[in-house]
């Protein structure tokens, strides 16, 4: 209970959890709250304005925009959550080992990370997707190849600081193996920073997915996706502005919610 009260005292954390929770709930309940099939086309009902039957109107193919919006949330949130798993695990492991070991291993890892980060992130993603192929598979592969370096940098820095603390030296002197020292005394103090970055990274991934889909390199039709919805609605910004505005706002709201959770966790764990 004391931990719960501490968490509830952080308004940014609570606000972020409410926002993210609402988006996730809408995504999970998409089959229940979506009034129409998101892929069903009816050219006779194309570009209808918002109404009781179509809450956000219809697009140029007569598809219900609200239904596509909530189903797109399922797609983008799923990809955002799944995509960060491998980079999180690999980056945290590599950064922790390098930061704890120091020496040549640390210098080699730092050189590799700096080399990858020297290239614009989205340019690398676009290049890899262009080679591997479009769709979810291309996104997963591209981010797995380059996304881990940011976690490695964050974890390596935190591990280097923790490894220099007196309690770590005492644990080493007591005869504990390096593996036990790393797992029991170092990681518990560095993992929270990687977890905080994880929430921020999901925002980056969703933005990357939206960008790729907008360019036609991400999620392919007929699957609903916020990026493709924005791309479809850009031709009607002056007459049917809600077609692009609704998915754009969904991206912004989701990003703000995840960022608030990250900020709240930073403040919460900073009090320890």
Q: Could you tell me which residues come within 8 angstroms of residue 210 by beta carbon, excluding any fewer than 6 positions away?
A: 76, 218, 225, 226, 227, 230, 251
Query: Looking at the predicted structure, is the pLDDT value of residue 87 above 80?
Result: yes
Q: With both helix axes pointing from N to C terminus, report the angle between 136-146 and 65-83 in degrees, rounded to the nearest 10.
A: 30
Alpha carbon distance 153, 109 (integer Å): 9
pLDDT for position 8:
66
How would you classify residue 211: left for phi > 0, otherwise alpha for psi between -120 and 50, otherwise beta?
alpha
Return d(Cα 248, Cα 266) in angstroms, integer: 27
Q: What is the pLDDT of residue 173?
A: 78
Which pLDDT band holds residue 73 (cuts at 50, 70, 90)? very high
Residue 233 contacts residue 224 (beta carbons within 8 Å): no
The pLDDT assigned to 231 comes to: 95
pLDDT above 90: residue 103: no
CB 128 within 8 A of CB 138: yes
3-class DSSP state of 86: helix
* Between residues 71 and 8, the one the model is more confident about: 71
Asked if residue 5 has pLDDT above 70, the reply is no
The predicted-structure confidence for 55-70, as pLDDT tens digits, reads as follows 999 999 999 999 999 9
pLDDT band for 261, please (50, 70, 90 cuts).
Answer: very high
pLDDT digits (tens, 9 = 90+) for 19-34: 999 999 999 999 999 9
Ramachandran sector of residue 135 (left: φ over 0; alpha: ψ -120 to 50; beta: rest):
left
- Say how far apart CA 126 and CA 206 lie, in whole Å: 14
Structurally, what CATH architecture does the domain formed by 2-270 represent?
Orthogonal Bundle (1.10)
pLDDT single digits (tens) 152-210 = 999 998 888 887 888 777 877 787 787 888 888 788 888 889 999 999 999 999 999 99
- The model's pLDDT over 106-143, given as tens digits with 9 standing for 90+, comes to 899 889 888 988 888 888 999 999 899 888 999 999 99
The average confidence (pLDDT) of the chain is: 90
- What is d(CA 46, CA 62) in angstroms, rounded to the nearest whole number? 4
pLDDT confidence of 244, banded at 50, 70, 90? Answer: very high
Helix extents (H) in the chain: 2-8, 11-28, 30-33, 65-83, 85-101, 103-117, 121-132, 136-146, 148-163, 166-173, 178-181, 187-214, 226-233, 242-270
Of 153, 152, 126, the C-alpha closest to 218 is 126
pTM score:
0.90
Answer with the residue of higher pLDDT: 169 or 78.
78
């Amino acid at each position: 209970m004391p931990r719960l009260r501490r968490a509830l005292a952080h308004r940014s954390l609570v606000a972020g959890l409410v926002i993210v929770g609402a988006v996730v709930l809408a995504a999970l309940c998409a089959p229940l709250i979506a009034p129409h099939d998101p892929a069903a086309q009816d050219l006779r009902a194309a570009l209808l304005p918002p109404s009781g039957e179509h809450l956000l109107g219809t697009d140029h193919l007569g598809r219900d925009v609200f239904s596509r919006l909530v189903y797109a949330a399922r797609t983008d949130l799923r990809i955002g959550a799944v995509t960060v798993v491998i980079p999180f695990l690999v980056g945290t492991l590599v950064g922790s080992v390098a930061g704890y070991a120091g020496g040549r291993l640390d210098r080699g890892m730092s050189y590799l990370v700096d080399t990858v980060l020297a290239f614009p992130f989205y340019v690398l993603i676009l290049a890899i997707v262009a080679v591997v192929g479009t769709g979810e598979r291309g996104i997963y592969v591209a981010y797995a190849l380059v996304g881990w370096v940011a976690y490695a940098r964050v974890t390596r820095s935190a591990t280097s600081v923790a490894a220099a603390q007196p309690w770590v030296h005492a644990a080493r002197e007591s005869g504990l193996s390096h593996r036990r020292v790393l797992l029991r005394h170092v990681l518990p103090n560095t993992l929270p920073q990687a977890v905080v970055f994880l929430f921020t990274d999901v925002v980056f991934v969703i933005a990357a997915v939206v960008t790729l889909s907008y360019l036609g390199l991400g999620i392919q039709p007929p699957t609903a996706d916020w990026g493709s919805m924005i791309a479809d609605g850009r031709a009607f910004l002056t007459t049917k502005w809600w077609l692009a505005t609704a998915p754009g706002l969904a991206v912004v709201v989701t990003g703000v919610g995840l960022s608030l959770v990250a900020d709240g966790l930073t403040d919460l764990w900073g009090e320890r």
